[in-house]
Structures are given as structure tokens and as C-alpha cells.
Structure 1
Amino acid sequence: MLLVDPGSGAAVALADVVTGGAEDAPEAELQRQQVETDTAPCETLDALAGQLRARRRAAADAAERENCQVVALATSPLAVSPSTMPKERYLRMAEEYALTAQEQLTCGCHVHVRVESEDEGVGVLDRIRPWLPVLLAMTANSPFWQGRDSGYASYRHQVWGRWPSAGPAEPFGTPKVYHETVQAMIDSGVLLDEGMVYFDARLSRHYPTVEIRIADVCTAADDAVLLAALVRALVETAAREWRAGDPPRPVRTELLHMASWRASRSGLEGHLVHPVSLRPVPAEEAVRALLDHVTPALTDLGDHRAALDLTGRLLERGNGATRQRRTYESTGDLTAVVRAAVEQTLGDRPAGRRRV
């Protein structure tokens, strides 16, 4: 999340003090204008929703002690000059990647889902690839960049795509190929370390999980819960296909890049690339295709009704980008956009076995 001034809504460089002190304080990230929160593994969406709101509240309390606020926006609507956290790794990144790192003030939402083995994990990664752009469209929450409308629903995705390892990856087939690919990327000298493997979805370095990283951070906590529900069901669906010996669909990575670009540009307004036909369809049709694809898993996990309800509400009111633009259209004031998002970050109400 971003740290912002309560009066102007501008991003403020206070992460080094906000992240100190209390045990439940948020963690620092690349830039001093942002902080990171997480949740413990959860079995149910209700548990996840409760933890998510509690962590947001704790982060807000920590920020308030330093006379600032937290807001779940994927980019700052107002102009900002990011300042890098004074940690050795981050300073090396700022030096090596120059403007790409120096401008990189973006906030995403990562979902981890437990898998039984790396074999299953790679099987999942290879099978979820065509569905990830739909998740980006649903969570798109960054229409403004440096004080102007970017024309994109998720401009964060465009900025994030400047990293050399960002975006979709080719199918790997086996953990051996996955790890050999990662090592080759590091050995090339382009990446500093394994932590800079920024695939849209990857095997976690520290946990027995796959990590889906394509989404913008969601202002509405309900949208983050929906994202987690769909990601868990997508992982479960892919794992079942892998166990059954069903091969992944052979979708070219170039087409996935274009599907993600379309999702970044349009969000839920206009057309998306259909995950199966790879043809343009109204955004709601692509969302319904994703829901249909994961319905058996959602049902078995007990999440189907909640996912339908949350999806319906999302389609009715729009994603974060739509809500930001709606506020700006009614006020003509980007400060008002930030203030509304601050309230929404801590608002909303809960939704209701693979852990997420």
C-alpha cells in the first residue's frame, strides 16, 4: 500500500519510520512511499477476510502514529518522486536498473496457494497461464500516473513490465527445467538474484506454494478476497488436470503478453482476450468463462456462492480503476480520489482447503 499525506493525498516517504516500532507494523518495500502487509495461511475466505482487514487496520494505525495514512492503490494518482529505501539490495537495484527502478512505485497483490510438491506446482504454472490476464482485468486499480489519466485501467502493469523478467513464462514441464531456467536467468548477469524472477506466477522460494503475482492491489478488501478465492480454485483446477494427465493448452507466450496488455488497457470496460478462444469478447464474458472453468473447484472448496456474490458486486460497481475515475469525474480532484480510496481501504465487509 501507499503512504499518503492526509491533507494533500500525495505519497510521502515515511516507510522507514512507519515500519519500525510495533510488532504488527507493516514491512518496508522498494520505495519509502510504500509498505507491505501479509496474512497467515487461511483455510476459509472468512478467515482471510478477517486477517486482511486486521492487517490493514494495523498498518493504518502505524501510519497514523507518523501523521500519514495507508491507501491500497496500485499507483499514486498525484505526481511523486519515489525515494528508494536505504537497504543494500534496494540501492543496488536503483543503481543497476536506473529509471526502471527509480520510477517503480507500484503496489501489487500476491496470492500464495499451497501445493503438494514442486512437480504439482510446475504442473499448475503450466496450466493457469491463459487465465491470469482475466485476474488482472478484475483487479485493475491504477488508472492515474504522475497526476494524469494514463488511459489504462492498470498502468501498474505497464510500469512493472519494464523489469527484464516480468510477465508470462513459457511452460516448464518439470521442476528441473524451471530451476535451470531461473538459474540461467541469474547466470546471465541481468538479474541480481532469484528474488528478481518476476514471472506472473512462480514457485515460491520460501514456502511450499505457487505465487500468483499479476494482480494490482485492491482498494476494496472484498476484491482481494475474491482474487484469493479465484486463484485458489484456479490452482486446484490446474492441479486436478495435472494429476489426470491432461496436457496444458499450447498457448504462445506472445499471445499471453497481448492478452495481459488488453486487460491492462481495458480492465472490465470494453473487451478482453478470451482465455480459450483467444478472440476479443466483452469483459464480462471472459470473467464468466473463468468462473465456469473453476466452478467445480469453487464448489468443492465451499467458495462458489461467495465467489458468485463477490463477482456480481464487482461487475456491478466496477473495479478499482472504474471507482477512481468515477470519483475524479465527479470532483475533478485527484486528492479526492485518494481520500475516497483511503476510506475504501479500511471499509467493506467480510465475505463468506487449499490454504491461501
Structure 2
Amino acid sequence: MPASPALRLSVLDQSPVRPGATARQALLETTELARLADRLGYTRFWVSEHHNTTSLAGPAPEVLLAHLGAHTRHIRLGSGGVMLPHYSALKVAENFKLLEALHPGRIDLGLGRAPGADRLTAYALNPNNQFNEQDFIEQLLDLQAYLRDDTTPETIHERVQAIPKITTQPHLWLLSSSGQSGQFAAQLGMGFSFAQFIGPHGGPAAVQRYRAQFRPSPELAYPQANVALFVLCADTEEKANALVKALFIQLLRFDQGRRGPYPTASETAAYVFSPEEQARLRYHQGRVVSGTPGQVREQLTQLAAAYDIDEVTAVSITADFNDRLRSYELLAEAFELVPTTQKVAEEALV
């Protein structure tokens, strides 16, 4: 089956802390992965926001993105996403305007409303957060106004402006695993990313509703959507099965409220799923695509067709960092991504 030339691939990285590794190593691995994705021709590289966990090392996307910008040249960089209810809209606008000033034309501001942690941690981040839908919408409107340098009379924007003053803007995306934020994205003219790696059901319908309800904004004339899910690609079926088994073990642990280290290869090989766990795995299987390059290519092509989208974002976690790198290399080969060096050479000839 030929690869689809129209399908773009992107990366969402959560800076996982591997067994026996440190948080610093996890962040250095995220940097190495971003450089690889940049060379291989991936469209964008997003990093996530999590708090109060030892298994992931990324609580502040805006800080990590500044670092990644200095180590990449072409790939779009963004948050997947900033949990807006934790913060001031002005501060988020200034963080990402500064990133856009440093790396113009390369910054995505992906936003979510989930806590990204437990409720106690969310309270510690913002004691005034009521998880109110209307509050979130007002924050989104304020954020757009700050990014646009709006000066509407008789509003705070008449007197308070987000700096630095720049001529470009980060691209705005709303992230959702249920579809609710897709309606907000449609009404406000933002991009929409469905997190199937979190919620495996309802994605195509949510994207369809987003398109049907989309209202153009000054920044986005047409709806733009993608889907993110766990993707594990390996040279052999045996290897792919081992990688996905480890991921399933970790997801089952999360179901039980356990946030320990990722299972090692030996733990994975020895693990036997109980009948109850096997039943639960039917749910988790909807969050993951795995296999050899040909198998993964076929599954992702079918998924993109079901969503009617042209971009898929891969989330990969493995106990061995080399397996993570190899997964993204094989995925790029399967879809015949054009390496950055080749793109630059072709553009120079035009």
C-alpha cells in the first residue's frame, strides 16, 4: 500500500523519565528527539504540561520550548498544551509572544483546560480556579485580545498590552479528549487537536462538529484539525508487541492510581495480564497504534481518513530511548517524509 503523500506527521513529547534515568536525562532526550524530528521532516514538535509526578519531567512548556528553539531550525514548536486555567491570560500571551519573537513563524500555542495533575495540585497552582466553563471562555477571549494587541475602549486591553510588540503571532490550538473544547475552537477560529491518546472515543465526530461550526478568525480562515495518539513502530512484530505491552502495563497502572516508573523490558516480559486487565485493555487499545512500519502506515492512513484530516501527531514512550528514536525514524520512512536538508536544497533551486 503506497504511503499517503498528503499526510503530515508531528510529535507530542511528554519528557518521560525512563527506568533508572533522571529528569535531566529525560529533558536532554526530549532535546535530542526534537532535533531528530526537525531533520526527518516532521511538521511540529509539541511538549506537554504535567505536575506532581516523577514519571514525566515537563511542568513548564514555555521554558522547554525556548530551549528547543535554540536546538532546532525548521520544525514548528508548541505546547500540547498549556493548561490555561492555572494561569493569567496576560502572562501566557507574553510567554508565547516572546517565544514567537525569538523563533518567528515557528510557534504554536496549544491550550487545554484539564488540570494536568490532581485537584490538590491544581489548587496549589491557582487557588481561584473554579473549573468554570465561562471563566475558560473569557480567558480565551482575553488571550486572543492580548496576542492581537487589541485596544478596545473601556476594557482592560485599552490600557494593558502584552509585550514584546511583534509582527507575527503564535498559532492558537485548543486540545480536547472529549470534544467540548472543539466547539470553543470553532467559535473562536482556532485550530483543534483531538487527544485520542487520552480519550479513544468520539474523535471523528468531534472534529466533524468543529468543522461544521467553524467561524473564521483574523488568524485562521479555515478549520485546521489533527489527532494525537500513542504510536509505537518497530522493525519486527515481536519488538512492536513488546513495546506496546509495556505501554499497556503503564496505562493499567495509571488506572489504579499508580504513578511509578515505566516498566522495564524484563518486567514486561514476565507480566501476565489478569482477566480483568484484559477486559480493560480493549479500551486502551483505542488509544494506541503499533506494529511494523507497513502496519502502522496502514492504520494511521485509515485513521486519518476516518477523521478526514491531513495530520497525525505521534506520542511515543518506551523504556529504552533508542527504541523511541527508532520508532520515529521508522514512522518517517513509512510515510516518506522529506528530510529538512532535502527541503532546503529544493527551495534553493526554485
Give me the TM-score of the superposition, normalised by structure 2. 0.31
Higher relative contact order (CA 8 A, sep 6+): 1
Give me the TM-score of the superposition, normalised by structure 1. 0.30
